[in-house]
Chain A
Amino acid sequence: MLIKKGSGIKSSLITSQKQYLKRRQFIKYSLAAVGSLVLDKSQLFAETSESEYAKLPNIIPSSYSTNDKTNSWEHITTYNNFYEFGTSKEDPAENAHSLNPKPWKISIEGHCKNPGEYDVDDLVKNNQLEERVYRLRCVEAWSMVIPWVGIPLKTVLDRAEPTSKAQFVEFVTLLEPKQMQGQNSSVLQWPYLEGLRMDEAMNPLTILAVGLYGRVLPSQNGAPIRLVVPWKYGFKSIKSIVRIRFVEKMPVNTWNVSAPAEYGFYANVNPGVDHPRWSQKKERRLGSFSKKETLLFNGYAEQVGHMYTDLDLKKWF
């Protein structure tokens, strides 16, 4: 083999591959640094690693899952409304590490024959986990598709044997400002409260989610256990639940208390009822450029429509 003597450039002037890469990296980081000075750093660096989260065992698929393309782990875990950790979408991914989701007890009480306190680990162990790929439509007119792992809420509620006085179910999030720094601000009333009518709670679509993409739920998504009600706006799907209570009267829910003209108790996804400040006719599916039509009950009318035949959806928005 003939080795040419080179082109006469002094070897000291040639940048080695390693140096070159270093320089590239330096330029990249300086640009990022300048960028983050100019704007906020969170968006450049917010990344969560999927592999850090433990896999959940024995998950079976469900016929309730949609075939829509799922959003990435990254999107689902870095774009969250979870005011307990701050009011911007990036805050929860950055701040939720202060939550301690293990061990976690959830109590089931109120009008039932068999109240009790459950360890979330036991709930996971003792129930069949299902993957439910659901559309999530936020009241702010964006949407995602999320592969939750969970247990039908009905399974858990049935075990408590609710009495005939149980007309509604109330849900309560953890109140612990030391773990949830956002609770030091008075932007909402704490703890976060939500509620469902009994039939809504027992609907087969309603689940208690404990996982995402087959892994345990990241804190910013409501670890260790949260509600998912896919035909209602996202704020109904309360996160990091510590208490479930059977009640007789319609419970209050946090966003309704905060702005009664804008957020109702039912909060069913409905393109026909605009939010006072924006239209609900369309939504932006994150990850895609164009907007799509929003469907009544978020496309789950077949499963849930029968519950609302007598309800004036304009009045009970």
Chain B
Amino acid sequence: MKIFKSTVFTAALLPVAYLIFGLVGDKLGANPIETLLHKTGFWTLTFLMITLSVSPVRKLSNWNKIIKFRRMLGLFAFFYACLHFTIYLGLDRQFEWQEIVEDLSKRPYITIGFTALVMLVPLAITSTKGWIRKLGKRWQKLHRLIYVIATAGVVHFWWLVKKDITEPLIFALILSLLMTFRLALLKIKLQAIQK
């Protein structure tokens, strides 16, 4: 299990490694800052989707141990979100606070992206064993925020593309699949209670 975990950990860092190599070797194209921003955004959303697939996969495959990866994957989503935001602040907007505030207030796709990031913070903080114990039932309730965050992430992507919505559409489809699975499960549970 340990070796498995470190493999997943290493794999989750590959995109960063690629970006660093790319940056050093000048292989990120004519607009490296844009590439960095887009790739980290892409991986944030991808890790959110992967995190959300953990319980469906577990239920479908009966592979219970997979749950052990969920926290790590969720934290990687947070890690990429922080990278993405830092790149936005430092490289894209170059700490021009006036512009950043204008972006946050005037541009809905930024507002919703930022909202998603802010909502990720309490989830990251309360991801430890201690917090899980302390919060008890409320922990689960709090962590349902992940559904809102993932939806906000997809909307953020949808709103920012100029014309070709293929990629955000794919994310939207994956997300609805993952949500449908949960709703179906909920329905089965409710039916079981009613009987």
A43 to chain B, nearest CB (A): 5
A34 interface residue per 8 A CB criterion: yes
Q: Are A89 and B164 in contact (CB under 8 A)?
A: no
Q: Which residue of B lies closest to A277 (CB)?
A: B107
* Surface stretch bound by A, among B30-38, B67-75, B114-122, B146-154: B30-38
Interface residues on B, range: 20 to 34
Q: Are A279 and B30 in contact (CB under 8 A)?
A: no
Q: Which residue of B lies closest to A76 (CB)?
A: B30
Q: Which residue of A lies closest to B159 (CB)?
A: A277
- CA–CA, A43 to B102, complex, Å? 32
Query: Which residues 15-34 in B have Cβ within 8 Å of A in the complex?
Result: 15, 18, 21-22, 27-31, 33-34
Chain A residue contacts of B103, Cβ below 8 A: 279
Known: A31-B21, A87-B163, A187-B163. A39 touches B29 (CB 8 A): no
Number of interface residues of A (CB under 8 A): 36
Please tell me which one of the listed residues A34, A43, A87, A287 contacts residue B14 in the complex, with CB atoms under 8 A apart.
A34
- CA–CA, A140 to B30, complex, Å? 14
Q: Are A78 and B29 in contact (CB under 8 A)?
A: yes
Chain B residue contacts of A290, Cβ below 8 A: 94
Interface residues of A (CB under 8 A from B): 31, 34-35, 38-39, 43-44, 46, 71, 74-75, 78-79, 83, 87, 89-90, 140, 142, 144, 185, 187-188, 258-259, 277-279, 281-282, 284, 286-287, 289-291
Interface residues of B (CB under 8 A from A): 14-15, 18, 21-22, 27-31, 33-35, 39, 91, 94, 99, 102-103, 107, 109, 159-160, 162-164, 166
**14 pairs of residues in contact across A and B, judged by CB atoms under 8 Å:** A43-B22, A44-B22, A44-B27, A46-B29, A74-B30, A79-B30, A83-B163, A87-B164, A89-B29, A89-B30, A89-B31, A187-B163, A277-B159, A281-B99
